[in-house]
Amino acid sequence: MLTAVKPAGPSKSDIARGVFRRTPGISGESHRARRSRIRVKGNGSIRAVISSTGDKALEAASPLESKESTNGSLLSSGGGIEVRATVTVRKKMKEKITEKMEDQWEFFVNGFGQGILIHLISEEIDPVTNSGKSAESSVRGWLTRPLSNPRIVEYAANFTVPHDFGCPGAILVTNLHSKEFYLLEIVIHGFDEGPIFFPANTWIHSRKDNPESRIIFKNQAYLPSQTPPGIKDLRREDLLSIRGNGKGERKPHDRIYDYDLYNDLGNPDKDEDLARPVLGVEERPYPRRCRTGRPPTKSDPLSETRIEKPHPVYVPRDETFEEIKQNTFSAGRLKAVLHNLVPSIAATLSSSDISFKCFSDIDKLYNDGFLLKDDENKDIIEKLLVGKIVKQVMSIGQTLLKYETPAIIKRDRFAWLRDNEFARQSLAGVNPVNIEVLKEFPILSKLDPAVYGPPESAITKELIEQELNGLSVEKAIEDKRLFILDYHDMLLPFVKKINSLPNRKSYASRTVFFFTKTGFLRPIAIELSLPPTPSSPRNKHVYAHGHDATMHWTWKLAKAHVCSNDAGVHQLVNHWLRTHASMEPYIIATHRQLSSMHPIYKLLHPHMRYTLEINALARQSLINGGGVIEACFSPGRYAMELSSAAYKSLWRFDIDALPADLIRRGMAVEDPSMPCGVRLVIEDYPYAADGLLIWSAIQEWVESYVSHFYSEPNSVTSDLELQAWWDEIKNKGHHDKRNEPWWPKLNTKEDLHGILTIMIWIASGQHAAINFGQYPFGGYVPNRPTLLRRLIPKENDSDYHKFILNPQHTFLSSLPTQLQATKVMAVQDTLSTHSADEEYLGQMNLLHSHWINDHEVLKMFNKFSARLEEIEEIINERNKDSRLRNRSGAGVPPYELLLPSSGAGVTGRGIPNSISI
């Protein structure tokens, strides 16, 4: 007779209560040390078979016949409920013969029940043991039923449980193999409730790496107070294991989330010139990153030793890129760009300071390409899927690198030269989040005048009014027709240091725009400032577009400096800091404080995918000392210090809300009659107009979701996990800002859905708007140079005569070198590319289709998805509207960065769920 089998070793009450603790020193972190010693006793009284289709009767696992009860349960002849667990595993993408042999050995081991043990835990308490009822079995079998995906394997295990077992709420999985495997889900068949889904989508570590079993909860969302008694201890214990103890170096198989400073950007042990200050201290505040626990450097005990390419930086195991992304996109592709393509470009362009001699040199990058003379990396470079970059093998040791024509010059190669395009990109470009309404005049700096000179701008009232067609400055300000792009206070403290670097020249800039009656934004004055000197205490110069040839070229150079500043602020502040770095603490806190059963965890989970991995890769190769950002962007080695200064003076969680940010910048005014409660000052502001549509859709979805789970008074304040989550975000994740008064309270469901809407907007719409246009706008160097190498010549300068004789040469020699330009183009192309496995806002990955067992929530999600489809149609119609000149017209690329869907590659559209590149 089939019966429930008692475990060998620990009692089921011990297991359910989680009383076993890991032996100190084993991976340093766990709380379920002996659970993996569970064994199935007896002479085959429990058997497992490969699952058959659907809910058919079990294959014969013993000579005993089963019969079906009147209520649909499968009964053994002894009166228990016979239950089948279908275990779905995803194989790795493998090519090596040895790995295929290992696969066959795994099948063989599983066939004898020695590979995977699973332990079923009921939601109900056993009155004898005062813990969750339990039963255990092992996976068996060598064959699988035919599946459409050859990488998916299904196994099964059989249980017989008593009639009063109750509904299972958790499964403990023990991996007896010598290596990890990827568990997609476990489905339990045979209970009255019908199939019960346990979505996993996780790596199950080998017991030799970590002796504790993994806990997988079913797809039912429970607030902490609603947790069934049989699995309450497991909920707490799972969170404890994820938090770790803050000690030891993390191992690749670990699944531990903790915080640390940005103390791994420099490499002083390799070269003292690569030493970088720690970010996240009082004088240089910063959000926290995921802790890796590496030892300190020998040269600087405050800095952490680095893991250099191509070795991976630790992130918790489930945060790493899935293989389809590794093989077809990011880990393989971005690393190949950084580790192979960029060095190959450097080897080909043997001199690092070769300038573009003429504009046709730039055009050749798209029309002709250039040969890479690097036989060693040829095969890797050929296989790179760098957007639409075309590569062809010309001969042995030579590869043709040919860039796709960027969108900004595809329709009109001279668009970048025009003032209206320069202004349009402040509203519809890759960085449309810095333009503000000019609220007062004169324009004043908030910097210390004793250090940085007089606070008044050199842009005078008379100069502006020359461009206002008879309108006074006061009237233009009152009518909200003057706008400013102001990088003066952010950049001036760094200009002297930047200009001391070789071949770097920078100003602090202000640009004033006038909104004409015809609906155009027109730049009318640019102020470029250098730090004051004894001979020039007011070291500011104002440029305007003039009618003579010299003013035409100085105006063009001034715009180039503004674009360079804009590119640096975009990359280091708006892109990296405000999305990537700020999001990381939210992700860490969500894993540490919210159980995977928590409804808010389930809501946020799609918006956390891949972010820790891409951030770790950025710390390794992009924002690190000597990395691509330092090499190719104006601030150089001071890049991350500038980002820290912006965090200190500008970053606030509450104004990461799109409507609040627009109001802060004066680009919108409060209007309760309008959607989202705001009315745009410039109606034809594509980023804001489309962004508000996305924001409102997210807000409606989140509000309905939160209201569904928090329907009772005080349900938010009584949710201990939720309160600990928000407390940790403020006090640990953004520790340096913990005492700021602007942090939202978390007392009501309105507070909660406001906080969550901000987080989801940042991870999805905000990141999409400022990321996926990097190559379309920045791939043409003159449109958006990431650095400049010369100041604008003045009449008494030694090279002024050369400028007069050949202004084009002065302009081109001010741009990044050919090496700098091609390196940053390759990286921008990669950062602008969607992976083939991208998950977009409002879309559900089929592998996650059982994410929640709640029909009302699924109806809400389907409504959200339908609304995003409507928004896509609205945006497409807007892009056809000839009245909206910032998104349509001769040669004007349509504004598509906030179109929700996209295909793979550099598309200039699409909103992924998460910050995944």
Active site amino acids = 575, 580, 767, 771, 917
User: How many helices (DSSP H) and strands (DSSP E) are in the chain?
Assistant: 30, 24
Taking the CA atoms of the chain, what radius of gyration do you get in angstroms?
30
Q: Which of 749, 642, 666 has its CA nearest to residue 706? A: 749
For every residue of 146-197, DSSP letters joined together read --SSTTEEEEEEEEEE-GGG--EEEEEEEE-SSS-EEEEEEEEESSTT--EE
Exposure letters 56-67 (e unless 16+ CB within 10 A, then b): eebeebbeeebe
Residue type, 507: Y
The DSSP 8-state label assigned to residue 224 in this structure reads G
Query: Would you mind telling me the total number of residues written for the chain in this entry?
Result: 917
Note the Cα 648 to chain centre separation in Å: 22
| CA distance linking residue 390 with residue 372, whole number of Å | 13
- Residue 694 in contact with residue 900, Cβ under 8 Å? yes
Write out the two tokens for 171.
Answer: 């499964």
The encoded tokens of residue 903 equal 């295909």
How many other C-beta atoms can be found within 10 angstroms of the C-beta atom of residue 468? Answer: 16
Calculate the alpha carbon distances from 287 to 52, 584, 652, 740, 768 in Å.
50, 8, 12, 14, 21
Q: What share of the chain is helix, strand, coil (3-state, %, to 5)?
A: 40, 15, 45
User: What is each CA distance from 251 to 303, 312, 313, 364, 713, in whole angstroms?
Assistant: 19, 11, 10, 47, 44
The token pair that represents 218 in the structure block: 């079913």
Return the number of other C-beta atoms located less than 10 Å from residue 903's C-beta: 10
Q: Please calculate the CA angle 577-581-584 and round it to the nearest 5 degrees.
A: 155
Contacts for 465 with CB less than 8 Å, ≥ 6 apart: 471, 472, 473
Please name which of 782, 800, 783 lies closest in space to residue 791, comparing C-alpha atoms. 800
Q: How far apart are the C-alpha atoms of 830 and 338, rounded to whole Å?
A: 10
**Nearest-angstrom CA–CA distance, 54 and 424:** 57
Within 8 A by CB and 6+ apart from 230, the residues are 16, 121, 122, 123, 124, 125, 131, 132, 133, 166, 169
Residue 902: C-alpha distances to residues 584, 616, 767 (Å): 25, 26, 15
Side-by-side strand order, sheet with 398-402: 370-372, 398-402, 390-395
Residue pair 288/280 in contact by the 8 Å Cβ criterion: yes
Give the N- to C-terminal CA distance of the chain in Å, as an integer.
56
- Beta strands, E only, 537-690: 540-543, 668-670, 678-680
